[in-house]
A = this chain, B = another copy of it.
Amino acid sequence: MSAREKKTTTNSHPISELRQNIITGEWVVIATGRAKRPHDFQTSAPAPEPDLSNDPFDDPEGSGQEKDVLVYRTEDGDWSLRVFPNKFPAFVRDAVPEELSEGPYFAMTGAGFHEVIVTRDPRLSLALLDPLQVAEVIDAYQERYLDLMTKRSVRSIHIFHNHGESAGASLAHPHSQLMAVSVVPEHIEQELGGAEEYYRDYRKSVFATIFEEEQSVKKRLVFENEHFVVFCPFASRSAFEMWILPKRLSPYFERITDEEKIACGSALKTALQALYTGLGNPDYNFYIHTAPADGRDYPHYAWHIEIVPRTAIWAGFELSTGMEVSTIEPEVAAEFLREEVLKNENV
């Protein structure tokens, strides 16, 4: 039986498969030996009602948060979204990086910016907001990105969202975070380097290759609108991982257009809602991967959003090797999520 035949149905898949990330060269393990089906990933109990009695994001300034750097308001004057510096920053705001090397080791001041992006309703995660409200969040991401990318200590900007305790959300009130730092981290370097290398080898963008393949075979597609595709990547690092990729490939998230923001809000909401209804509100992280803000050009890179549900615990093997083990085939996960999207559209 050829490899291709093996892949035509989801019932005859091998028990363990090594798949390589086409961008970075990293390996993942798809080990379906325990024969999990999508429903096995459903959270066993509904999450407890969040404790919002001491919600510091209900009235951020009143609860000692720093002054807003951005506020969006509704027509009636109430705020709908605000952005302010994190009260417990991981980086020293706007500092000049000072070298702190010791002997053979290199270190420097952790200079940068660490901000919190908060939506109004403490009980509504992005999955439950209107698509336009999610587009507003993306609007805020872009506005803060454009402001911080010009700061002289900033070389890369990282926007991410933690949903649920096991995903690192220490507060129940939905919020995203932005960290602007003076280095380009390893994972981003790997994607940038891989995209360059792929272009050298094939004279083609690796993201265009992925986009065309997913559009053509369709089995990993979850959702699509005029400007975005949502799919489970071939080498998913976690069960039900999804990527949101713009159809107009661009290295730079900050150049997203107004029309694209509206479509992106709809794609992100749809993807998160499929997780919410399909798996019973699982914990997840999502984050934007985009080219660094370091003054260089990255013509063969493409910004995108990665959504990583926290369906498994990283153990010693993952920490040691960086290889992640997922227990469901991305094709099976995509089929399940696609059906959820259809169900949710018909509600």
A325 within 8 Å of B by Cβ?
Answer: yes
The CA-CA distance from A321 to B287 in the complex, in Å, is 9
Residues on A lying within 8 angstroms of B by beta carbon are 3-4, 6-7, 14-20, 22, 24-27, 29-31, 33-34, 88-92, 97-112, 158, 160-162, 165-169, 177, 179, 181-183, 185-188, 209-210, 213, 216-217, 234-235, 285-289, 306, 308, 313-317, 319-323, 325
Q: List 6 A-B contacts (CB under 8 A).
A: A4-B102, A33-B90, A160-B315, A160-B317, A161-B316, A167-B315
How near does chain B come to A23, taking the closest CB pair, in angstroms?
A: 11
The CA-CA distance from A166 to B17 in the complex, in Å, is 26
Residues of B with C-beta under 8 A to A100: 3, 6-7, 14, 17
Task: Check B107 against A285 for contact (C-beta < 8 Å).
Answer: no
List 8 tightest A-B contacts by C-beta distance, closest first. Answer: A168-B315, A16-B110, A160-B316, A185-B321, A287-B320, A187-B322, A285-B316, A31-B90
Q: Known contacts being A101-B3, A308-B319, A315-B168, is A109 close to B16, with CB within 8 Å?
A: yes
Task: Check B158 against A92 for contact (C-beta < 8 Å).
Answer: no
Residues of B with C-beta under 8 A to A106: 19-20, 22
The CA-CA distance from A195 to B319 in the complex, in Å, is 19
Task: Check B17 against A108 for contact (C-beta < 8 Å).
Answer: yes
Task: Check B18 against A107 for contact (C-beta < 8 Å).
Answer: yes
The CA-CA distance from A183 to B92 in the complex, in Å, is 40
The CA-CA distance from A298 to B89 in the complex, in Å, is 41
Residues of B with C-beta under 8 A to A185: 26-27, 321-323
Task: Check B186 against A15 for contact (C-beta < 8 Å).
Answer: no
Task: Check B31 against A110 for contact (C-beta < 8 Å).
Answer: yes
Residues of B with C-beta under 8 A to A7: 100, 102
The CA-CA distance from A285 to B313 in the complex, in Å, is 12
The CA-CA distance from A315 to B216 in the complex, in Å, is 33
The CA-CA distance from A63 to B19 in the complex, in Å, is 33
Task: Check B3 against A110 for contact (C-beta < 8 Å).
Answer: no
Task: Check A33 against B89 for contact (C-beta < 8 Å).
Answer: yes
Task: Check A105 against B234 for contact (C-beta < 8 Å).
Answer: yes
How near does chain B come to A164, taking the closest CB pair, in angstroms?
A: 10
Best-surrounded residue of A103, A316, A325 (most CB of chain B within 10 A): A316
